[in-house]
Amino acid sequence: MKLANLFKMTSMALAVSLASQAAIADALVTGKVQDTKTKTNIQGARVTIKELNLETTSGLGGVYSFPNVKTGSYTIHVEYLGYQGEDQSITVADETINAIFDLKPLGGQTEEMVVYGQAGTQASAINRQRNADTNIAVWDASNLDKYADQNTAEALQRLSGVSIERDQGEGRFVRIRGLNPDLNSVRINGINLPSADSDSRAVPLDIIPSDLLESVEVVKVVTPDMDGDSVGGAINVKSLSAFDRDGLYIRAHAEGSYNELREKASPKAGFTISDVIGEEQNFGVAFSSSWYNRKFGSDNVETGGGWDTETGQLEEAEQRHYDVERRRWGTGLNLDYRPTETTELHLRTLYSYYSDTEQRHANVYEFAKGTGEFEEDDGELEEIMRGIKPGEAADETAVAREFKDRKETQRILSVALGGSSIVDAWTIDYTAGYSEAREDEAWHIDGSKFESSDDFENVGFTHSKQPNISGPAALHNPANFELDEIELAKYEAKDQQTIGQIDAAYDFDMAGFGSQIKFGSKLSVRHKQADEDVAEADIDGDYTLADFVGAEKDYSLGKFGPGFDQDKFRSFAMSQAREIQALKSAESDYTIDENITAAYTMFRTDIDNLRLIGGVRYEYTDYDMRGNEVIENDDIEAVNPAQFDTNYGHWLPGVHALYRVTDNVQIRGAYTKTIARPTFEQMSPATIRDGDEVEKGNPNLKALESNNIDLSVDFYPGDIAVISAGVFYKDLSNFIYESFEEVGDNEVNTWHNGDSANLYGIELAYSQAFDFGLILGANATFIDSDATVRQNGVSRSVRLPGQSERIANINIGYEMQWISLNLAGVYQSGALLELDPEGESGNDVYEDETFRMDFVATSNVWDGISVYFKATNLTDEPYYTYQGSQKYNNQYEKYGRTYQLGVQYTTF
């Protein structure tokens, strides 16, 4: 039976079940939980019917429901940390019961502080994490003015077990528990979010402005009703709904920021409005828009693996000066309609535009020093040359001046249409959605080179971690550099996904214990393609850098010299005739169709203080991949089409337990199985043959599989407080790595599945809001891993790439009604970044540890109006990677501090 028929089977089973149960169903008990003064809806409250051992959690708009309650008299109890608990007595007959709970804050907290302040932010996260079925971490939109984070990736770095990868100093990709971002899944409003990156599955979360969102959940342990491609975890992004708050809600802000390295100012603004309208107040409209135009840059010195780590000699180094302008614009329109108490319909839309304009000026140095030893070359004796050590001067140095100028545009669109209906004892959720990610680069200067007419003498450097290059004045004379080549390129990629999903849950009583059985299916159709054109400019005439010279570059890592006149050189380069490079243009072209069909069943029961969840998910994956075989050698130059089809399936079981030892202590445990499919680069059918050197993907790669065990304990010592500790273990098989091998007369670079790997760690977290205004938060994650790889015929043991051994956050805040202060620090230890494909451990690339601090001060100057100041990267932390040993630079890049000043208006 084909898995494409799962939707039909699910619908038929659901119809039969509904027909058989309609006559025996009991009453619906529903209602909502809200703040007694502000009427803000409270999501994440624990709601129980004591006598029936039934439990649920308030969801969107603070709404809760028990769909199958027997006739009788009962007590509903609601609790939410930071508020006083409340009971209501109800009598159930055969009509719907609607019970609304107005909660009052505890102790010395005001409603505004508990709902909107730093304390409210902590309370929201703690309650949602406490009452979730599984292990999650929550970021709430009320964090927007509490931290200096610029995008969604940076916002998530505050959560336990989460770290980020940066690009030009800005957070971009998210790691969960030290694992590569490719091993996470990302959904927005229930729809899988594609990646504009042609090679990767990782979703760049810097594209999504954080002020378009309401909350983000990081699910560290998935349940069977969630996608199985979540070895690291699942990131669930939720945009604003009008039912998150009752009545009219407005949030608007405007700010300016200043980057001290480039001495540039940047504007930013955002606007959000939502309201519940109609005579019955059952139609909600929410709209958000955000705009940010940031100008900044970085100074960089790198060697790109140019060290001989045995002798400490460097053969090549490069100075880079970046000017960057990034524009972000996003908008979202969300509609909600509740025609009855048992039906909710919604439309969720999000559009995000991101452009990255980057000019890179570079000086490239190739050092050579005589060894006094000679070898014969074409009948002549040639001196053997080597690199130089810090403090030495090269006998001869070839120098090139390079310039790259490109504008990259990425767009993300997500549309989700869905709803939820309660029919007697059944709760049915249904979703259809479409998402798309695009990346475009119009014709641009992908690379240009001006070479020195003669080698230079007495060029050297000091310091191996941060090479400071010096030499004669002639190094910086633009007339000494002749134009050698200009490479032009254009590029486009798109990733489209269409999904349909249906879930049905049936609530029933099992021997006096509230229970639920849930099943569903999902179809995901994905189409991803990339196309690149590469050309060389047909240059007419002789030119030197003096013809395009610009101003002296302000470079904080040494003497740089004059840069390019960007406008003049760009105009010249784009006006030249283009000679299309057919072979290069074909290398990166591919089309991949990936169709995933999934079905699951899951059972949940509450036995007094114990909640058990068990189930299994099946995912079937089908691929159709097309690329090119590019051949370039002395005898032939050719491009041949390559195609490969494959499919596989996975059974993914999961068992979860939550035991409440006391009202203040709970223990979680889980076993799950998850997968991570190969990236598009890894499984590409493309092959590039350049003489005896071969680079190719591996369409036969298996998906990485992970058996996961998690155990944690949470202690809630105060009104808004939690202390937690947990351990996790992942047994990984078929993990993927790059390797170099000699196959016959060829040297082949490709991807392989490893045998096995293990990752294990400890998570610790503490968070507390005191009633005198002090806010404390800290978390730390300690991780270790081991994997065996086989490269160039030799096996060796390594850590998993991207895995930091230690991740830590600290947060100290203070707030009263008129002022809020926050100092936050993020620490991330070093990690193995790249394995040397040839298996030389001395050439592995590592990322150094970082510690960044941010500060925020907010003052409430008027009713709803606040002024804020934010300082980012107070430690002026650089990005440093090294080759083999920490003393050998691979890349050193600094960004400077950024300061923001803004004003915000919010209605409560």
Average pLDDT for 270-297: 95
Average pLDDT for 417-429: 95
Contact between 106 and 173 under an 8 Å Cβ cutoff? The reply is no
Separation CA 407–CA 413 (nearest Å):
20
pLDDT at 744: 79
Confidence bin at 5 (pLDDT 50/70/90): low
Q: Whats the size of the chain, residue-wise? A: 908
Residue 610 phi, psi dihedral angles, 5° rounding: -110, 125
pLDDT at 228: 96
Average pLDDT for 807-830: 94
Confidence bin at 116 (pLDDT 50/70/90): low
Within its chain, how far is the Cα of 491 from the centroid?
Answer: 23
pLDDT at 713: 98
Average pLDDT for 893-901: 97
Burial of 373 (C-beta count, 10 Å sphere; 0-12/13-18/19+): exposed
pLDDT at 536: 96
Residue 207 phi, psi dihedral angles, 5° rounding: -70, -30
pLDDT at 122: 85
Maximum distance among all Cα pairs of the chain, rounded to whole angstroms: 104
Bridge partners (DSSP) listed for residue 859 = 819, 867
Average pLDDT for 878-890: 96
Residue 276 backbone class (left: φ over 0; alpha: ψ -120 to 50; beta: rest)? beta
Residue 109 phi, psi dihedral angles, 5° rounding: -85, 140
Helix-, strand-, coil-residue percentages of the chain, each rounded to 5: 10, 65, 25
Contacts for 340 with CB less than 8 Å, ≥ 6 apart: none
In 661-703 the beta strands, taken as DSSP E runs, fall at: 665-676, 687-690, 693-696
Q: Is residue 655 scored above 80 in pLDDT?
A: yes
Contact between 324 and 357 under an 8 Å Cβ cutoff? The reply is yes
Burial of 500 (C-beta count, 10 Å sphere; 0-12/13-18/19+): middle
Q: Is 20 or 94 the better-scoring residue by pLDDT?
A: 94
The token pair at 851 is 């510690």
pLDDT at 675: 98
Average pLDDT for 176-180: 94
Q: Is residue 13 scored above 50 in pLDDT?
A: no
Residue 62 phi, psi dihedral angles, 5° rounding: 75, 10
The token pair at 344 is 């909710």
Separation CA 433–CA 645 (nearest Å):
26
Q: Is residue 649 scored above 50 in pLDDT?
A: yes
The token pair at 197 is 């990156």
Average pLDDT for 103-113: 66
- Count how many Cα atoms sit within 13 Å of the Cα of residue 296 in the half-sphere of its side chain: 24
For 303-338, write each residue's pLDDT tens digit: 988 899 999 999 999 999 999 999 999 999 999 999
The rounded percent of the chain whose pLDDT value lies above 70 is 96
For 37-85, write each residue's pLDDT tens digit: 877 888 899 999 989 989 999 988 899 999 989 999 999 999 999 899 9
Domain topology for 243-906: Maltoporin; Chain A (2.40.170)
pTM as predicted: 0.92
Strand order in the sheet with 46-49: 54-57, 46-49, 72-79, 86-92
pLDDT at 23: 38
Q: Is 54 or 376 the better-scoring residue by pLDDT?
A: 54
